[in-house]
Amino acid sequence: MDDGLQDVPQARIELRGISKHFGEGSTRVDALVDIELTVGAGEIIGLLGPSGSGKSTLLNVIGCVSEPDAGWMRLDGELVYDTRWLRADRRRLRLTKIGFIFQTHNLLPFLNATENVAEVMELAGLSRHQARMSANALLDYLEVGHRRQAFPGEMSGGEAQRVAIARALANNPRIILADEPTAPLDSARAHIVMDLLSRIAKDHQAAVLVVTHDEAIFQRFDRLVSLRDGRLVAT
């Protein structure tokens, strides 16, 4: 029995039989094995599992960064993979529908906090003025608005991570993929981040999938699913 497969209305993420391996023959590693997972609009799901269990690989597949080897995947109602990519412009898909939050901030070092967040909005079509106003509103919510003119090299690790989270949420994505987003934050800031992710999930009917080892935030999820050796197991 698999807790990942649910009858969820308005599913934003649907995976059926998704598998991914690296290498061949004696060096082959099965990173994902026959994954069945559905995440609905407005759901926030915690993805658990030990290191090397396939969690980051799964995020990369859903984010259309890594190509699976088998199965099919539907994102926000669109079939994007069925034994091969069906969506040619996956960069545009990522820009408009998918928000990524990583363990490291990956901010552009030559842009300040506001510019790092606003850049994503401008690429999606907002005017520079609109993008900067929206960017500053997100930074204020994450309690890093006072650092809006700071460059990444001038920020603490926690500040830079909060700016990166604001950037991931810039275009109100339908799908948010977060890899240990609260790891560099203290408990108070971690709960601010979870509050924002929960609000985005509910208000914008986004599907949020969060890789975490932080037991303090387990209660903030609608469901928990777990990966072991590339397989989803009951949680």
Whole-angstrom distance, CA of residue 110 vs CA of residue 192? 27
pLDDT digits (tens, 9 = 90+) for 150-205: 999 999 888 888 899 899 888 889 999 999 888 877 888 888 888 888 888 888 89
Q: The whole model's pTM is what?
A: 0.86
In the chain, what are the domain boundaries? 42-65+90-233
Say what the pLDDT of residue 135 is: 95
In CATH, the architecture of 42-65+90-233 is 3-Layer(aba) Sandwich (3.40)
The pLDDT-based confidence of 1 (bands split at 50, 70, 90) is very low
Q: What stretch of H or E contains 39?
A: strand 29-40
pLDDT digits (tens, 9 = 90+) for 19-74: 999 988 889 999 999 999 999 999 999 999 998 899 999 999 999 999 999 999 99
Say what the pLDDT of residue 65 is: 94
Whole-angstrom distance, CA of residue 105 vs CA of residue 27? 32
CA separation, residue 37 to residues 11, 99, 125, 233 (Å):
10, 19, 32, 11
